[in-house]
């Protein structure tokens, strides 16, 4: 009977496929299987591409190709003068996806917004723990519980976020994947049916594509959402072919089995660029590779020592050798493409003699230290071991002996955060929401010590500036504060800023309209293919 | 025979307990921590870390965690993946057919090519054919699987365009799984082009996965044949004036096959190990790829239960092979 049913279903699908022979299809060879399709609790870039960016929308959205925020499901918003209330005017007439498993009876409204956020922090919400071991990592990670006091429904199309203290990056946070709006009506239907877990496997959103099917670890299929408020996408069928190996992805692209691939191996990029059937987009990544000095441990507590060690490193040589043309030397913590980048900051010049003199001035002779190298390749640092070896050689020239240490990746970060860690620590960061706060406060605020401040650096002046910038609404004022913070950062040298790397997206020439996102998102609403 | 099977089944119990302890300990001995792995580069505050640890039950003493685990396994609950939040057994059942389909093709290829190659090498002992075959077998045995797979993809898929690069079937075929075996499903749907596509997708991964077992089987067949060919009864058969073909195929090979069958059974473990790399290269949605990704994510429930399930299957296959052994070798039945 089950077989019979399947056969009938298959015949139906085949008939559909035959009818839609002219359908435009785009194959994206994604890098990993999504954990599931609920955009709230997932944390990986591959999860976001498979759910938030394809099937969902947030109140706000990032302008394609930029980190500027534009209206999404909210038409507009208004921040109260004291910065404690943000009132969103919602878009009218937005439809949730109609699926074999769900038919919406009403349009998107304020209840959906409130439900989407309350489930992330209200323990009595039925969806707070609807899956086993569920954690809301981004809601927590972006510090939302500290700022969001209450979310109030003013009327069906007006929602007010009441904050406990002003927070300028809040709207940008809401544009992030965890801010995706899910259907409360659908969630209630699932609760009534006793199958809430289906929210994560049979998604219903408002986004440009509708879910069709997922074959575990293999293929995800989507169909264009005819009713999308932003207009029906040009492609009819969007397919994610999950292809974890970098080199195999490149081969699939060459063989025409994929139209777009993310994250090619740096070594494959020249080969792909040389292929006449392909285009390789490239963009400065919203990232930073750096090396944190532990400012609480001697002799790194002395700024002269930190400066001397940084001056002794030939950063350009490292970028040339390790990033192979896909990076640029970083002088600030934030990349040049980000607003408030302070171009007047002068980087430490590579000066061996100067470094020696400065070290002598600090009274340090015969320094032997650990030098930490990450065990994994990350977009901001493709080969930390090689970087460590080059730094080791540079330091040998000023009489400093470095012993390279490394651990398994989670262990590495854990030991890096441990109080009393010896020696400089390589690490890096890729931005979440395009706000400078996401770099400065996340990585070097006092409260990030023990979480992601690997320098244990808590500088009063710097802290004042970034905290003030966080609660200031005026962009010009914020820019001035962050520019000042970058000056202090360079003068104090809590970390050596090494490089910003480029990100590549290779694709078939038949693909048009794909815009690379500085946040690493892969978004397909405006993509088309020429036959 | 019945008591033999019964004894073998009984032996499975302590083995399973042993394996569950090993699998449980193995994943915890790995450096790294599932909670930190989940939190990613954002990190978690120490307070939140403690909350999560308690929520996941990782704050309990290790023996208690193990007993809880064993208790749920005995009731058929293999836990829930930390990443996908799906039941481990459910994922295993979805992915397992893909691995079996590939492994069966590989073992078939390895046997069908390995045994004749071994026989030929033994019969022509010392000839260039023997040396060539054994040289190739040694090369195959020492082949780095990942490199070999990529090499085949680059040549046959990208350069010649004869085979697809990866996946199980061309993406324009959309078949909802019935048995989970793509070749069988496409036939059940009566979709001939889909069947052809599924076969074409099987070629390269089968060759890659079969490479090592093929080499082992060929070498084992050769040495077993050489041993048998020197035996008295073979000389007698020759003296009786039987044709060389009959002597080799009937008298020698049938006896030489006994150790070879055991070898083939033991290759099941090797196939599982090989599947990890082969499936990763060919984006084959099977349990090998699933396991390796779970290990990287420190997904404790998947790793410990996945290992246990794989071990159970290997034990079952070995039991079947041993029973088969009893069928082709009457001497073992007597014991």
Angle CA A88–A90–A96, to nearest 5: 135
* Contact: B281, A248; criterion CB under 8 Å: yes
Question: Under an 8 A CB cutoff, do A32 and B293 touch?
Answer: yes
Query: Across the interface, do B158 and A251 touch by the CB < 8 Å criterion?
Result: yes
Specify the pLDDT at position B332: 66
Q: Say how many residues make up chain B.
A: 335
Confidence at B51, pLDDT banded by 50, 70, 90: confident
Using alpha carbons only, what angle is made at residue A223 by residues A65 and B96, rounded to the nearest 5 degrees? 105
Residue B40 is predicted with a pLDDT of: 67
- CA-nearest residue of chain A to B37? A410
Contact B212, B140 (CB under 8 A): yes
A:B CB pairs within 8 Å? 156
**Contacts for A200 with CB less than 8 Å, ≥ 6 apart:** A36, A37, A38, A130, A131, B85
Nearest beta carbon to residue B36 from set A17, A217, A410? A410
User: How confident is the model over B151-175, as a mean pLDDT?
Assistant: 92
Substitution target from B40, B42, B72, B148 for chain A, most A beta carbons within 10 A: B42
Per-residue pLDDT of chain A (531 residues; tens, 9 = 90+): 444 455 444 444 444 444 445 789 999 999 989 999 999 998 888 999 999 999 999 999 999 988 889 999 999 999 999 999 999 999 999 999 999 999 999 999 999 999 999 999 999 999 999 998 788 888 988 889 999 999 999 999 999 999 999 999 999 999 999 999 999 999 999 999 999 999 999 999 999 999 999 999 999 999 999 999 999 999 999 999 999 888 999 999 999 999 999 999 888 999 999 999 999 999 888 999 999 999 999 899 999 999 999 999 999 999 999 988 789 999 999 999 899 999 999 999 999 999 999 999 999 988 999 999 998 888 899 899 999 999 999 999 999 999 999 988 878 888 898 889 989 999 999 898 889 999 999 999 998 888 889 999 999 999 999 999 998 988 899 999 999 999 999 999 999 999 999 989 999 999 999 999 988 899 999 999 997
Q: Round to the nearest angstrom and report the end-to-end CA distance of chain A.
A: 41
Tokens read off for B86: 């799906």
Mutate to test the interface with A, among B27, B43, B59 (most CBs of A within 10 A): B43
CA angle, corner A76, sides to A75 and A77, nearest 5?
A: 145
Degrees, nearest 5: CA angle A314-A391-A305: 85
The pLDDT, as a whole number, for residue A18 is 43
Nearest-by-Cβ selection for B56 from A133, A137, A414: A133
Can you say how many angstroms the Cα of residue A180 is from the centroid of all Cα atoms in its chain?
15
Would you call B290 and A3 a contact, using CB atoms and an 8 Å cutoff? no
Please tell me the distance in Å from A6's CA to the nearest CA on chain B. Answer: 7
B243 token code pair: 């044709």
Torsion angle of alpha carbons A355, A361, A365, A368, nearest 10°? -50
Please name the residue of chain B whose CA is at the shortest distance from the CA of residue A416.
B43
Per-residue buried b or exposed e for B220-244, using 16+ beta carbons within 10 Å of the residue's own CB: bbbebbbebbeeeebeebeeeeeee
B280 CB near a chain A CB, below 8 Å? yes
Would you give the distance in Å from CA A33 to the centre of its chain? 17
- Mean pLDDT, chain B, rounded, equals 88
- Is A245 within 8 Å of B283 when comparing Cβ atoms? yes
Does the beta carbon of B335 lie under 8 angstroms from any beta carbon of chain A? Answer: no
Count how many Cα atoms sit within 13 Å of the Cα of residue A317 in the half-sphere of its side chain: 13
In a mutagenesis test of the B interface, which of A23, A142, A248, A412 is the best target, namely the one with the most B β-carbons within 10 Å?
Answer: A248
The CA–CA distances, whole Å, from B183 to A111, B135, B188, B281, B316 equal: 47, 34, 9, 20, 24
Q: Smallest Cα–Cα separation from A33: which of B86, B311, B24, B186?
A: B86
- The reply to whether B289 touches chain A by the CB within 8 Å rule is yes
ipTM tops the 0.90 cut:
no
Q: Report phi then psi at A208, rounded to 5.
A: -65, -25
Neighbour count for residue A19 (Cβ, 10 Å): 9
Closest CA–CA distance from residue B284 to any residue of chain A (Å)? 7
Question: Which residue of A219, A248, A450 is in closest CB contact with B153?
Answer: A248
The tokens for A120 are 């992330």
Name every residue whose Cβ is closer than 8 Å to that of residue B127 and which is 6 or more positions away in sequence: none
DSSP type of residue A453: B
Alpha-carbon gap, residue A268 to A256, rounded angstroms = 16
B176 to chain A: closest CA residue: A10
Chain B: give the shortest CA distance to residue A240, in Å: 10
> What part of B 130-189 touches A (C-beta under 8 Å)?
150, 153-154, 157-158, 161, 164-168, 171-172, 174-178, 188-189
* Spatial distance between the Cα atoms of A392 and A485, rounded to a whole number of angstroms: 30
Mutate to test the interface with A, among B155, B167, B298 (most CBs of A within 10 A): B167
Report pLDDT digits (tens) over B213-228: 999 999 999 999 999 9
- In this complex, the residue of A132, A244, A411 whose CB is nearest that of residue B31 is A411
- List Cα–Cα distances, A34 to A50, A222, A429, B88, in angstroms: 7, 14, 22, 16
The DSSP output letter for B153 is I
A408 contacts in chain B (CB < 8 Å): 30-32
The 10s digit of each residue's pLDDT in B238-282 is 888 888 888 888 888 888 888 888 888 888 878 888 888 899 999
Question: What's the gap in Å between the CA of A357 and the closest CA on chain B?
Answer: 37
Residue B58's closest chain A neighbor by CA?
A: A133
Residue of B nearest to A427 (CA): B41
Q: Is B45 on the interface with A (CB under 8 A)?
A: yes
CB contact under 8 A, A10 and B85: no
Kindly report the nearest CA distance between residue B203 and chain A, in angstroms: 16
Q: Can you point out the beta strands (E) in A245-336?
A: 278-284, 287-292, 327-329
* Predicted confidence (pLDDT) per residue in B283-328, tens digit: 999 999 999 888 888 888 999 999 999 988 888 888 888 787 777 7
Question: Is the peptide bond prior to A299 cis by the omega test (within 30 degrees of 0)?
Answer: yes
Min Cα separation B31/chain A (Å) = 6
Contacts of B32 in chain A (CB under 8 A): 408-411
Q: How far is CA B330 from CA A219, B253, B333, B335, in A?
A: 49, 16, 5, 10
SS (H, E, C) A180-242: ECCCHHHHHHHHHHCCHHHHHCCCCCCCCEEEEEEECCCEEEEEECCCCCCCCCCCCEEEEEC
| Residue in B28, B31, B34, B48 to test binding to A, most A beta-carbons within 10 Å | B31
Q: What is the pLDDT of residues B54-64, one digit of tens each?
A: 877 888 888 88
Taking contacts as CB-CB distances below 8 angstroms, the residues of chain A near B293 are 32-33, 244
Please answer whether residues A387 and A318 qualify as being in contact, where contact means their C-beta atoms are separated by less than 8 angstroms. Answer: yes
- The pLDDT value given to residue A7: 47
**Chain Cα centroid distance, residue A492:** 28
SS3 A280: strand
Q: How far apart are CA A42 and CA A178, in angstroms?
A: 8
Cβ of A9 within 8 Å of Cβ of B176? The answer is yes
């Amino acid at each position: 009977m089950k077989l019979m049913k399947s056969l009938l279903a298959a015949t139906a699908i085949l008939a559909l496929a035959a009818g839609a022979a002219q359908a435009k299809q785009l194959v994206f060879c994604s890098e990993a299987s999504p954990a599931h399709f609920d955009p709230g609790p997932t944390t990986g870039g591959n999860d976001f591409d498979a759910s938030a960016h394809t099937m969902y929308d947030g109140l706000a959205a990032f302008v394609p190709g930029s980190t500027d925020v534009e209206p999404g499901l909210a038409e507009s918003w208004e921040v109260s003068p004291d910065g404690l209330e943000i009132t969103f005017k919602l878009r009218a007439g937005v439809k949730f996806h109609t699926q074999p498993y769900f038919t919406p009876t009403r349009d998107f409204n304020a209840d959906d917004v409130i439900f989407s956020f309350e489930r992330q922090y209200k323990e009595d919400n039925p969806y707070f723990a609807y899956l086993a071991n569920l954690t809301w990592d981004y809601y927590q990670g972006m510090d939302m519980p500290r700022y969001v006091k209450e979310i109030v429904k003013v009327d069906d199309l007006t929602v007010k976020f009441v904050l406990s203290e002003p927070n300028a990056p809040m709207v940008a946070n809401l544009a992030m994947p965890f801010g995706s709006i899910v259907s409360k009506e659908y969630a209630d239907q699932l609760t009534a049916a006793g199958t809430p877990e289906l929210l994560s496997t049979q998604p219903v959103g408002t986004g440009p594509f509708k879910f069709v099917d997922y074959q575990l670890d293999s293929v995800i299929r989507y169909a264009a959402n005819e009713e999308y408020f932003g207009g029906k996408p040009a492609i009819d069928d969007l397919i994610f072919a999950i292809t974890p190996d970098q080199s195999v992805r490149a081969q699939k692209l060459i063989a025409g089995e994929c139209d777009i691939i993310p994250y090619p191996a740096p070594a494959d990029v020249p080969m792909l660029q040389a292929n006449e059937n392909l285009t390789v987009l490239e963009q400065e990544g919203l990232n930073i590779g750096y090396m944190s000095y532990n400012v609480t441990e001697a002799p790194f507590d002395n700024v002269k020592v930190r400066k001397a060690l940084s001056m002794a490193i030939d950063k350009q040589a490292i970028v040339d050798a390790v990033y192979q043309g896909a990076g640029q030397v970083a002088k600030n913590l934030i990349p040049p493409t980000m607003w408030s980048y302070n171009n007047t900051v002068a980087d430490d010049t590579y000066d061996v003699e100067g470094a020696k003199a400065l070290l002598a001035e600090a009274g340090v002779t015969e320094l032997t230290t650990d030098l930490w190298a990450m065990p994994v390749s990350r977009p901001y640092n493709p080969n930390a071991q090689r970087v460590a070896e080059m730094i080791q050689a540079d330091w040998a020239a000023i009489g400093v002996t470095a012993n390279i240490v490394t651990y398994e990746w989670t262990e590495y970060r854990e030991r890096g955060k441990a109080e009393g860690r010896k020696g400089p620590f390589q690490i890096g960061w890729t931005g979440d929401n395009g706000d400078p706060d996401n770099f400065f406060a996340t990585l070097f605020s006092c409260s990030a010590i023990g979480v992601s401040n690997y320098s244990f650096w808590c500088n009063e002046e710097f802290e004042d500036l970034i905290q003030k910038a966080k609660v200031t609404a005026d962009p010009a004022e914020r820019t001035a504060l962050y520019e000042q913070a970058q000056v202090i950062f360079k003068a104090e040298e809590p970390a050596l800023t090494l490089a910003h790397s480029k990100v590549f997206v290779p694709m078939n020439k038949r693909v048009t309209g794909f815009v690379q996102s500085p946040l690493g998102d892969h978004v397909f609403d405006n993509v088309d293919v020429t036959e | 025979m019945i008591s033999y099977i019964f004894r073998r089944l009984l032996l499975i119990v302590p083995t399973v307990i042993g394996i569950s302890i090993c699998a449980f300990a193995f994943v915890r001995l790995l450096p790294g921590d599932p909670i930190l792995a989940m939190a990613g580069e954002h990190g978690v505050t120490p307070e939140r870390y403690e909350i999560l640890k308690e929520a996941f039950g990782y704050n309990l003493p290790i023996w208690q965690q193990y007993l809880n685990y064993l208790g749920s396994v005995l009731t058929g609950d293999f836990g829930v993946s930390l990443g996908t939040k799906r039941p481990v057994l459910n994922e295993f059942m979805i992915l397992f057919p893909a691995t079996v389909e590939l492994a069966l093709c590989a073992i078939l290829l390895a046997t069908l090519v390995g045994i004749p190659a071994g026989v030929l090498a033994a019969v022509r002992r010392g000839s260039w054919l023997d040396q060539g075959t054994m040289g190739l077998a040694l090369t195959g045995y020492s082949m780095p699987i990942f490199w070999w797979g990529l090499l085949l993809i680059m040549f046959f898929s990208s350069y010649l365009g004869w085979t697809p690069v990866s996946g199980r079937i061309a993406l324009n075929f959309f078949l909802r799984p019935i048995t989970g075996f793509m070749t069988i499903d496409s036939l059940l749907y009566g979709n001939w082009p889909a069947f052809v596509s599924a076969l074409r997708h099987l070629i390269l991964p089968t060759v890659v996965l079969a490479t090592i077992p093929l080499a082992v089987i060929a070498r084992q067949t050769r040495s077993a044949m050489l041993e048998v060919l020197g035996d008295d009864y073979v000389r007698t058969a020759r003296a009786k004036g039987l044709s060389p073909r009959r002597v080799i195929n009937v008298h020698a090979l049938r006896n030489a096959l006994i150790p070879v069958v055991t070898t083939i059974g033991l290759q099941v473990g090797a196939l599982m190990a090989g599947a990890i790399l082969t499936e990763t290269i060919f984006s084959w949605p099977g349990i090998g790829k699933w396991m390796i990704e779970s290990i990287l994510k420190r997904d404790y429930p998947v790793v410990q239960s996945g290992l246990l399930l794989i071990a159970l299957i290997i034990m079952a296959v070995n039991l079947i092979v041993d029973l088969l052994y009893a069928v082709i070798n009457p001497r073992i039945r007597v014991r």
